[in-house]
Structure 1
Amino acid sequence: MAAPPPSPLCSPPTATMSAPVFLFLLHLFFPFATPQTLTLNLTQKQPSFPANDPWAKLSQLAEFSLARAHHLKNRHHYHGDGQPIAASEVATTNVAPRSSGEYVIGLRFGTPAQPLPFVLDTGSTLVWFPCSHSFRCRNCRSPVSAFPPFIPKSSSSARLVGCRNPKCRWIHSRLPSNCSSSSVCPPYFVLYGSAATGGILLSETLSLPGKPVANFAVGCSVFSDHQETGVAGFGRGQPSFPSQLGVGSFSYCLPSHRLDDVRGAYGTLVLGENPAASRGLTFTPFLRSPARFGAYYYVGLRKVTVGSVAVDVPPLRPDGNGGTIIDSGTSFTVMEGGTHDRLAAAFASQVRGYRRAVAVEKQSGLRPCFEVGRRKTVALPAMALHFDGGAVLTLPLKNYFSFVGETDAICLTVIGAVGEGTVGPAVILGNYQQQDYYITYDIVKERIGFRPQTCQQ
């Protein structure tokens, strides 16, 4: 699949798109409505992979990760004002793994509240949901009926955001010259690597247990491509979920992908500071995000060790390229080509007793892969991530090698961004490498903390 062209987070509407979308949405929303500890749910999306193709799952996850990496490396984001966000109440939510490689939180919007699933995405800032009975999803892995859309006409609190509303500028850096107090905020169009969506901004009530949040800015998408569920942006920026809630930190613990699609297998997402859960964390500071990539969480990853071999990671440069971001919306970690070549060579030079699975590498697009037979235990070099401030993540084997379908081969779940050069982040830490770690994003203190933990509740 070809990677999409570079695009801003929310580009201005085109003339061919804006008029019909506005007419549709005006019809959609007529008539308009007049102006502690909490618990939510988090699950993972469930795609359909060909059952007779043992390489399908990993190769498609690799393809999606590379497409998203291309997008993240070339994307221009809204840049937040850098002001610390005040701490707020604590909310906890469940996290369940699915085979698509994306984690989804369950949220409720509207009056009365309508439950909806959202991908948890720390690499973007907009919160949006599929919207109206007319919602269309092209190239989606599940039918629209599997994820019922939000119905604005059924909500007494749904309002369109005006063009002069400050929240409109959250998603549009430039507004049309005819923008007035009586006009509606222009439609948005968002790219997510291999996925895309478009719609219009709403002000709606978010229902958290015991705490309704009025006037929450959320996107009402009328079409999507490769994205059948909504997305909850947790990145840096005013439209993001934690920013609109005013929380000073958030944390998550993503359960193992070995539990993909297992009913009742949950991890945790925490909104707000939870001192009891923060004990034993090792912290590394966030780096100042470049203006071009202001929505990302940059961390100082200095090197990756594979057994006795150290692989240096390109640092964040003054021109805004290089460096490392952490992204819950990317499945496999993506490295710029040269760094990945050195990482793969470090494994290849130290692995003993297993043959290279060359055919699997060609079929899956992953490398290195090894034939390990039907062994109950597999011995491979340890992999650890070394950050500024002394934080070290020594990854369990399942976080960096995965079996390929029903074959006897395992492959490294870190991939190289061939042909991307040094544009944008050099390393994107995906959620496969974050499994079974309790991770805290401390927005007020500008740091991120890690602690190994079995995340399944």
Structure 2
Amino acid sequence: MSFATRMMSMTLSFQIIAALLFITATASSSTSPSGFTMDLIHRRTNSSSSQRSNTDDQLRSSPYSDLVFDTYEYLMKLQIGTPPVEIEAVLDTGSEHVWTQCLPCLNCYKQRNPIFDPSKSSTYKQKQCNTPNDPSCDYELIYGDKSYSKGSFASETVTLKSTSGQSYVMPKTVIGCSHNSSGFKTTGSGIVGLNWGPLSLISQMGKNMLGAISYCFSPEGTSKINFGRNAIVSGNGTVSTPMFTKKEEPGTYYLNLDAVSVEETRIETLGTPFHAVDGNTVIDSGAAVTYLPTSYCSLVREAVEKFVTAERVTYGDNSLCYKTNTLDVFPVITMHFSGGADLVLDKNNTYMSFGQDICLVILCGAEEAVFGNRAQNNFLVGYDHSSRLVSFKPTDCGVTQDIPRDSISAALVLQFNVKFVFFIFVLSLMRL
């Protein structure tokens, strides 16, 4: 081979390598920060109250105990321990702790999957108590419907499987191992807390996930949850509202509800005890329905009653139901959150069939307002800790969305590119 030919071959080889290195660098930059997406499970369940945790461990009475709705619960799959054991747990932005029922079980409710046995995991390490009833090693959680979980904190490996089939492994994650739990209407093994608390799943994922999550709840089809880079909510139709925290419940996500519209009738919170500027409504994926404090809720109900001409039926003091089989007779309801986030709710978000009748599922009598998961159906809902915003984008959540590819998968592409560059370089040397 002539000198000129060798030079041309070397030049071509270096050009190829330079191009591939550019592609590799681009792929590398696209993997930071990390992000991934998971499928969720939704199942029908009889649910009559929020599962939101009260951090002070004081019982709250159910605001609608006189009416039990068939609703959906949203669960995510996790793998716990080594070797990994799969569990299903309720997705709950209204609480902090990640826990599952464990053996030995003194008092456990019936769950779908086998109960986790920590004695068979090589990475399970129970927290050691310094004193009796030490809150760093033992826990007691009491939820809004008087369900409870009692057990021990432990360090354990938690593995999440993305939709692409890749694993996101979280070693030494603090979980609760429940040996005494009762009152839960779920088929899941426990709860995945996703609020701002230090022991929530998103907090324990670390800074590479930016504390960012989003989810899309579908009444039918496959629901999804996104973490980190994949959790960004943007595009046409997106509205955002500030989220707040309060000293008494520092990890809870609060939004500020300014008004509710029933068709053209706008009911302001201003001038009522419900009015606030620093958050008056909890957004909660673990609550089935939406409820409001009685004084303000009665104003919303009155506006609905004036609109609907169907025959009224009564199941209890806390129900607003009508003898009808069509949603056409009901008004459209819009939630006006601060910052111009006006959510026009579909009628399926706010009304539900109950036997031969249809009922309003914005319920009265709660100590504080909660924006539940039924009202969030078919919205892509994003929580951004850095901007302290919650964003909503109307979305058909049962349809496959164009979402960013998992950065875990992107890392595999990067690895392939590096190997390919090395192969081309060696090949070029052999030709010389």
Q: Pick from 201, 214, 236: which aligns with 2:153?
A: 201
Query: Taking structure 1 as reference, are residues 444 and 212 closer, same or farther at Cα in structure 2, changes over 3 Å only?
Result: same
CA distance in 1, matches of 2:260, 2:56: 24
Cα RMSD of the aligned pairs, angstroms, is: 2.7
Distance 1:299 1:128, change over 3 A: same
| Counterpart secondary structure, 1:238 | coil
- TM-score of the two chains, using structure 2 as the length reference: 0.72
1:210 aligns to 2:167 (yes or no): yes
Matches within 5 A, 1:183-332: 185-194=136-145, 195-208=147-160, 209-227=166-184, 229-246=189-206, 247-248=209-210, 249-256=212-219, 259=220, 265-274=221-230, 278-280=234-236, 281-287=238-244, 289-313=245-269, 314-316=274-276, 323-332=280-289
Residues 206-264 of structure 1 deviation map (CA, whole Å, 9 limit, x = unaligned): 113333211000011112112362100011110001000022210000112xx3xxxxx
- Which residue identity does 1:387 align to in structure 2? F
Give distance in 2, aligned partners of 1:186 and 1:293: 21
- What's the CA shift for 1:102? 2.3
Q: Distance in 2 between matches of 1:275 and 1:240?
A: 17
The amino acid of 1:152's aligned partner reads: P
- Give the SS at the match of 1:43: strand
Q: Tell me how far apart the structure 2 counterparts of residues 238 and 299 of structure 1 sit (CA, whole Å).
A: 20
Deviation by residue 1:166-219 (Cα, 9 ceiling, x = unmatched): xxxxxxxxx659x7xxxx954211111221011101101111333321100001
Amino acid at match of 1:251: S
Query: Which residues of structure 2 form unaligned runs of 5+?
Result: 1-33, 59-68, 161-165, 400-432
Q: 1:416 deviation in Å?
A: 0.7
Look up the equivalent residue of 1:231 and give its one-letter code.
Answer: I
SS in 2 for 1:362: coil
Q: Does 1:455 align with 2:405?
A: no
CA distance in 1, matches of 2:200, 2:169: 17
Report if the CA contact (8 A) 1:121-1:232 is conserved.
yes
Corresponding position: 1:337 with 2:294: yes
Matching residue of 1:396: 346
Contact 1:440–1:449 (8 Å) recurs in 2: yes
**What is the CA distance between 1:330 and its match in structure 2?**
0.8
Change (3 A) 1:73 1:234: closer
Deviation at 1:413, TM superposition (A): 0.3
When normalised by structure 1's length, the TM-score is 0.68
Which of the residues 108, 111, 128 maps onto 1:162?
128
Q: CA deviation at 1:64?
A: 2.1
Task: Quickly say closer, same or farther: Cα 1:276–1:193, change in 2 above 3 A.
Answer: closer
1:132 and 2:103 matched: yes
Q: Tell me which structure has the larger Cα radius of gyration.
A: 2
Distance 2:205 2:265 in 1: 44
- Correspondence 1:348 to 2:348: no
Instruction: Say whether the 8 Å CA contact 1:315–1:324 is kept in structure 2.
Output: no
Alignment partner of 1:439 is 2:381? yes
User: Number of matched residues?
Assistant: 339
Instruction: Give a deviation string over 1:23-51, Cα, whole Å, max 9, x none.
Output: xxxxxxxxxxxxx554544213554xxxx
Alignment partner of 2:339: what SS?
helix
